[in-house]
Amino acid sequence: MKNDDILKALAHPVRLQIVHWLKDPDQYFSDQEHSLELGVCASMFARCGLSQPAVSAHLGMLQKAELVTTRRVGQWIYYKRNEQTIARFIQNLTEEI
């Protein structure tokens, strides 16, 4: 993924907040019924105060930028940070700047 795509994805405060929440899901999503090992269920991001379609659009942008990975379990989609992409992005950014 290109750094520009990641920067665009992180430019929106809601998407940045989601990535931050996913860094420590135990702290922010401890009330999730299923194990956080699966990831964080898309429905849990309602905490940002946006409509479900808006949250889905933000999650889609993060997925497109490869900042999150997804796992489908039945009808639910679970999200995790893509630590490899984030580490590569930070390294590339450090080298470029």
> Does residue 1 have a pLDDT over 80?
no
**Residue 38 · residue 74 · CB < 8 Å:** no
Compute φ and ψ for 52, nearest 5 degrees.
-60, -45
Asked if the model's pLDDT at residue 97 lies above 90, the reply is no
Specify the pLDDT at position 3. Answer: 86
Q: Residues 55-78: what's their mean pLDDT?
A: 95
DSSP 3-state of 60: helix
Q: Decide which of 2 and 75 is more confident.
A: 75
Q: Is the pLDDT of residue 86 over 70?
A: yes
- At 75 the pLDDT is 92
Range 10-22 average pLDDT: 96
